[in-house]
Amino acid sequence: MEPNPWKTVSTRPIYENPWIALREDAVLTPSGTPGIYGVVHYKHLALGAIPIDAEGYTYLVGQYRYPLSAYSWEIPEGGGKLGQDPLAEIQRELLEETGLVAAHWQLLLKMHLSNSVSDEVAYVYLAWGLEQHEAQPDPTEKLRLLRLPVWEAIEKVHAGVITDSLSVAGFLRLECLLHRKALTLPPNAAP
């Protein structure tokens, strides 16, 4: 265990909404000088799933991302309640956004997205053994769904077309596991 070299002198809540809470701490930095630290606490886990069907196709979700003022194609994602099982949460999100129910799940990675400012944690899963049910999209979202070969999706990461961090890291870990033969895709999904 590494000791925390920062000292929190005082803490002041600044803002809160259903998704984030911002506080500003008065701190002593590791060198002992006084300073402030604005910390964004995330009230949800960032969860993502890469579903792969029997033909080696995956599904991307397209939506306009308000903070970026830009459209973004991504793996199916959603927020998971803190303290709940992230797997159950992403299973619910995948069903809502795509109508897919997967028989098999494997954790691909856990990441801290922006650790100099926030405590946000992400989990990305691989999901296979798919059954199509009816999607139940959040009515405040306007999602598009794209089914494409998983290798085409991976190429979109290498081409810089997919830039969402969960999608980028998730597809790259998937590719590494395929190169390492730690996973195999359905035969007609070969690159």
The site for a copy of itself (CB under 8 A) is made up of: 2, 4-6, 14-15, 17, 19-20, 22, 24-25, 27, 29-31, 33, 35-40, 42, 46, 62, 64-69, 71-72, 79, 109-120, 122, 139-142, 157-158, 160, 163-165, 168-169, 172-173, 175-176, 179
- Residue 187 beta carbon to a copy of itself: minimum distance, rounded to whole angstroms: 20
In sequence order, which residues have a C-beta less than 8 Å from that of residue 76 and are 6 or more positions away?
48, 49, 51, 59, 61, 93, 94, 97, 98, 100
CB–CB of 25/106 below 8 Å?
A: no
Instruction: Give the pairing type, strands 34-42 and 20-28.
Output: antiparallel
- Residue 46 beta carbon to a copy of itself: minimum distance, rounded to whole angstroms: 7
Specify the residue, 101 or 118, whose C-beta has the smaller distance to a copy of itself. Answer: 118
- Residue 182 beta carbon to a copy of itself: minimum distance, rounded to whole angstroms: 9
Specify the residue, 54 or 190, whose C-beta has the smaller distance to a copy of itself. Answer: 190
- Residue 160 beta carbon to a copy of itself: minimum distance, rounded to whole angstroms: 6
For residues 182 and 22, what is the distance between their CA atoms, to the nearest angstrom? 41
> Tokens representing 118?
């926030």
Specify the residue, 101 or 163, whose C-beta has the smaller distance to a copy of itself. Answer: 163
- Residue 84 beta carbon to a copy of itself: minimum distance, rounded to whole angstroms: 18
- Start-to-end CA span in the chain (Å): 44
Specify the residue, 37 or 101, whose C-beta has the smaller distance to a copy of itself. Answer: 37
For residues 133 and 87, what is the distance between their CA atoms, to the nearest angstrom? 19
Specify the residue, 97 or 130, whose C-beta has the smaller distance to a copy of itself. Answer: 97
CB–CB of 131/101 below 8 Å?
A: yes
For residues 132 and 146, what is the distance between their CA atoms, to the nearest angstrom? 14
